[in-house]
Chains A and B, each alone.
Chain A
Amino acid sequence: MRTLKRVKAVALREWRSSFNSPVAYVFVVMFLILNAFFTFFVSRFYEAGQADLRPFFAWHPWIYLIFVPAVAMRAWAEERRSGTIELLFTLGITPTEAVIGKFLAAWSIIGLALLLTAAIPATAAYLGSPDWGVVLTGYFGSYLMAGTYLALGMFCSALTRSQVVSFILATVAGLFVVLIGFDPVTGVLSRFLPSGIVEAVASVSILPHFDSTARGVLDVRDLVYFGSTVTFLLYATTQIVNQRG
């Protein structure tokens, strides 16, 4: 109970700090513009005239690659740079509470951004009658995937006192995690490596797990993948911020 209150206090503080500066708004708007741009101008969603949101969700793994590290980069790097980490960790908060609070705050900002993309399914409803079950599963999967990127971004932010370094680290790490499951890449890899290894490597990637949810399939294995990856990364973050010099 007390723990929950402290997690909430940390999350609210993060949320306030984010929205007291223009940065969070800029990121959210950027996210919406990227979504609209790729869905309408690159995938020609409107011209295709189909009430199928796959072209919309298909861009998410790539958009998150930029958007999520941007949201996550200041979480710990800025605490270190400004020295507030000393304040934070002498207030009687456990590192786990702080890590979870920060994660939830950033995740809810991403959730807000994701909600604001509702104009796109609305367009789909205008074009035809989309399968709302698939749309919801797609959103759910996208949100879980964002959480996974976010945990990675938080981890990278904890490694450094520079937001820029944190952003680059998280983007590169995210790119790696995406590419090892990206079909063109696995295609190339399977020419050199036995298929078992390629599959094993690809299963660590975020993409296959997201693809199934985007198709409307909720598989327990995907949930376990997202859940365990987030847990592991947040645990690792806790260990890093908990070093106490």
Chain B
Amino acid sequence: MAELLEVRDIRKSFNGRVAVDGVSFAVEKGTVLGFLGPNGAGKTTTMRIIAGYLLPDTGSVCVLGTDAVADPVAAQRKIGYLPENTPLYGEMTVEEFLDFIGEVRGFHGRAKLRRIDEIIEQCFLEPVRHQTIDTLSKGYRQRTCFAQAIFHDPPVLLLDEPTEGLDPNQKQVVRDMIRRMGQEKIILLSTHILEEVEAVCSRTIIISRGRIVADSTPDELRRRSVTYNAATVRLGVPASQAEAELRRLPALAELRILEEDQRTCTVYLRPGDGRPLAPEIHALACEKKWPLMDVHTDEGDLSEVFRRITVTEDTRSAGSSTAQ
């Protein structure tokens, strides 16, 4: 109970336009939850509500036992929040800024200075320590804002596009950090980078038009891909000989001959229901004494699933709103 971040049926509209439309989920400790969704889906709005910056129209948010709607300040002490677009006090240096964060987060004196040093090292901010924030590059701004979020080592982290603007090395560093911290924290992150979700998230929620349209693990979502378990097979027989037999495989949705010559062929086979084809192909090759030269099984494609889920959702809603 106390180890949970619970969001129950939150709704929020701006001037009559619905941004978040009944979002509910619960996350336990040790989870890195990735928020996916098209632009304007409501990811940032949801995070802002959890962070206590926006008040939801209805619904409740409970952060490790604290009601974040009734007492946002108490909830915020348990939350580290990296806002979208890294708002920072531009006239201060990185060190001055972190000093301020330390003070408001309840660090004083030596303990504060020690923590500042730790954070600067952890977030690779040493080269810009005394630089004015306004003059930082985008990536360093992002890191400074990330440093701010993890300063007080909070049990809950809300990260709105945390690797936006980072170079590939730094992306990797931040992902490693998120994965490591995710073992004993609750981390919510939003991103548009699907590999990032597969790399760090143990759970994924896809939001579209303010609603949750998928809530699962990245692996399970990938398995919903139409190409999941599609097999590319190279056989030591001509296509003319194999095709008719292959077509008899159960639940086959698509068969394409990719290459052929007199002695071999490469065939693409896609199951209609995502079941693995490899065993049946093996069995068939065995039975017919076909030399089976290569079988490659597709692991599915998250971006295809994302597109399918969010696009159908979008056109469906668009259709219903024009019908009204």
Which A positions have Cβ atoms within 8 angstroms of B? 2, 5-6, 8-10, 12-13, 16-17, 20-21, 82-87, 89-94, 244-245
Contacts and interface: CB of A to CB of B under 8 A. Distances in A.
Most buried by A among B48, B91, B132: B91
A5 B103 contact: yes
B79 interface: yes
Nearest to A8: B103
A92 B92 contact: no
Interface in B46-72: 48, 51-55, 72
A82 to B, nearest CB: 6
Main secondary structure of the interface of A (DSSP, over half): helix
Given A84-B88, A87-B83, A90-B51, A5 B108 contact: yes
A93 B51 contact: no
A90 B83 contact: yes
The 10 tightest CB contacts between A and B, nearest first, are A9-B103, A83-B87, A92-B76, A244-B55, A245-B54, A20-B91, A92-B77, A13-B100, A84-B87, A90-B81
B53 A90 contact: yes
Contact of B104 (A10, A16, A245): A10
B132 A20 contact: yes
A16 B51 contact: no
B73 A92 contact: yes
Given A82-B87, A84-B89, A90 B76 contact: yes
A2 B106 contact: yes
Contacts of B88: 84, 87
A181 B85 CA distance: 47
Contacts of B89: 13, 17, 84
Contacts of B105: 91-92
A17 B101 CA distance: 14
B302 to A, nearest CB: 30
Interface residues of B, number: 32
Contacts, number: 78
B266 interface: no
B87 A86 contact: yes
Contacts of A86: 48, 53, 83, 87
Contacts of A20: 91-92, 96, 132
A17 to B, nearest CB: 5
B142 interface: no
B91 A91 contact: no
B90 interface: yes
B103 A245 contact: no
Nearest to B90: A82
Given A91-B105, A92-B104, A245-B54, A83 B96 contact: no
B92 A16 contact: yes
Contacts of B73: 92-94
Contacts of B48: 86, 245
Contacts of B55: 244-245
27 contacts: A5-B103, A5-B106, A5-B108, A9-B100, A9-B103, A9-B104, A16-B100, A17-B89, A17-B91, A17-B92, A20-B91, A20-B96, A20-B132, A82-B87, A83-B85, A83-B87, A84-B87, A86-B48, A87-B148, A89-B52, A90-B53, A90-B81, A91-B105, A92-B76, A93-B73, A244-B54, A244-B72
Contacts of B14: 245
A16 B81 CA distance: 23
B104 A91 contact: yes
Contacts of A16: 91-92, 96, 100
B161 to A, nearest CB: 14
A22 to B, nearest CB: 10
Contact of B52 (A2, A5, A13, A90): A90
A21 B135 CA distance: 13
Nearest to A87: B87
A38 B229 CA distance: 86
A245 B108 contact: no
A83 B53 contact: no
